[in-house]
Structure 1
Amino acid sequence: PHKARHISREITQLTSTIAQLKNQIKQILFNTFNGLEYHCNVTSIKMLKLLTLIPSAHVASSLSTSQIQSRINQTFAGKGKNPDITPEILKNIASSHFSINDPVKDQILISKISILLTLIQQVKTLKTSLIHMVKSSNPTHFSIINSIKGIGDYETAAFISEINSINNFPSYKKIIAYAGIDPVPKDSGKFKGKRHISKKGNKYLRKLIFLMATNAAHYSHPFEYFYSLKRSQGNSHKKAVIATAHKLIRVIFAMVNNNLLFSETALCMDSHIPF
């Protein structure tokens, strides 16, 4: 369990670094290839690879249409949809937007892209290892949690790696407290303030549960309904997600303890699942 937890947390840290690198790359492109972001996802894998060959508007201007097409073909070769970017679009962006001509920034961009692509591959490899490790050691719990729509293999594996085993917790409320999403009132003397989450628990688990709750609310009809209900009652998005997270942990706890897979059709008929 400790090995799996170490891998899971390394993935979290690398994912944060990846997000920072993507923002840095977008900032450089705003100066050196202004307007490109309106035509494509500049941080998609294939666009990143293309940008190592055409890193700026100045470079695009210096190349012929056939030279740009050759680089596009080189980058987008193989399976997948045709690129949204064409030589004409790149040429038009270069001529119609003001961009800085800075070869040093071009080199920095290429360097950052190289690091980013390496980290993305490392995260992919680590996720595969984590899923295999957790799935092999705890297949039953993995299958049960993974049966909820929106909770993928990685989220399931990461969740199990953080709590080790649901059997370690006497109630779902203990998991909620361990994650630090248990409500605490902010009182001052005679005045009662609004209730907030404690944030005293496992920050990795807390962030993961919020991700799982958000995904479940997006892909699973019962959780989508529950989230929408909370919003209709006047709750903010954040409070509705917290409420959904509580419901999700309660459902997962019941499913694991009763050895039940998640079924939307049987949900309302099964008294073991508290929905």
Structure 2
Amino acid sequence: MLFPEYERLFSDLFGKTSSELLMNYTTPEEILAVDTEELAAFIAKHSRNRLGLDKAEEIKSAAESSFGIDTALDAFRLQLRLLLQQIRFTEEQLDSLDVEIEKRLKSVDTNLVTIPGIGPVLAAAILGEIGDISRFPTGVKLVAFAGIDPTVRSSGEFTGTRNRMSKRGSPYLRRAIWLAASVAKIHNPILKDFYDQKRAQGKHHLAATGAVARKMTYIIHAVLRDKKPYEPIA
């Protein structure tokens, strides 16, 4: 409402640079009141010199032609700054949780973080949902528990030809493995090739990612079962 055009100025509205800018220059009027060079220096400081004069001029231009509200500005300005403070506080709490999760994970004998795509937070989520790996004698059992196994829709004499994830079992484990697979298909050469192969076969992006997630689940099972770091096998 204050600055409708602002949304297109930053890819991440709540990133460091954008949030600092909004906290200090909340309305188009405040942005126009500051010198362009000063605004550029402010942006450069908070973006670690990735942005500067060009971005300052772009913001100024947007502020000049803004059609944001011009009534009750003080109330809306205060509301926005309070919301930004809430976001910052929540982000600080999340950072503290990440540190605590990593600390607790180090006390557990696990090699999950050696698998590309799995960091401390995802490793903790996966381990927390799986528990004792001996509960799952095979990778197939773990895939089924995560609900990443494919299912074919059928009714009477009709059998569908499109496989979908069964989505049985733990939704938390499924989400963690899906997130890990989404990273691994980019940074793990073997899983990237596997993903590309599925796409070349005409699989939809989501179907190909699901296939990577199933493969990732077998890797997780092997690492936990053998109690050894991940070793890529072509």
State TM-score, norm by structure 1.
0.74
> Could you tell me whether the CA contact under 8 Å between 2:41 and 2:52 is conserved in 1?
no
Q: Aligned letter for 2:192?
A: E
Counterpart mapping for 1:13-52 below 5 A: 31-40=1-10, 41-52=12-23
> Could you tell me whether the CA contact under 8 Å between 1:35 and 1:97 is conserved in 2?
yes
Describe the superposition over 1:84-143 as per-residue Cα deviations: whole angstroms up to 9, x where unpaired: 25554432221134333352332222121111111111111111111211221x23x2xx
In the alignment, which residue of structure 2 is the partner of 1:54? Answer: 25
Q: Displacement, 1:66?
A: 7.3
Counterpart mapping for 1:8-157 below 5 A: 31-40=1-10, 41-61=12-32, 63-65=33-35, 69=39, 72=42, 76=45, 81-82=48-49, 84-86=51-53, 87-102=56-71, 103=73, 104-136=75-107, 138-139=108-109, 141=110, 144-157=111-124
Q: Displacement, 1:254?
A: 1.7
Pair 1:250–1:92, CA change in 2 (3 A): same
Please identify, of 247-256 and 103-112, the stretch whose mean Cα deviation from structure 2 is larger: 103-112
Please identify, of 219-228 and 33-42, the stretch whose mean Cα deviation from structure 2 is larger: 33-42
In the alignment, which residue of structure 1 is the partner of 2:202? Answer: 234
Q: Aligned letter for 2:28?
A: A
Q: Displacement, 1:67?
A: 9.8
> Could you tell me whether the CA contact under 8 Å between 2:23 and 2:81 is conserved in 1?
yes
Pair 1:72–1:253, CA change in 2 (3 A): same
Identity of aligned residues (%): 27
Describe the superposition over 1:220-245 as per-residue Cα deviations: whole angstroms up to 9, x where unpaired: 00000011111111111111111111
> Could you tell me whether the CA contact under 8 Å between 2:26 and 2:77 is conserved in 1?
yes
State TM-score, norm by structure 2.
0.85
SS at match of 1:185: strand
Q: Displacement, 1:68?
A: 5.4
What CA distance in whole angstroms lies between the structure 1 residues aligned with 2:50 and 2:182?
A: 31
1:166 aligns with 2:133: yes
SS at match of 2:183: helix
What CA distance in whole angstroms lies between the structure 2 residues aligned with 1:214 and 1:95?
A: 41
User: How many aligned positions are there?
Assistant: 228
What is the root-mean-square deviation in Å for CA atoms of aligned residues? Answer: 2.5
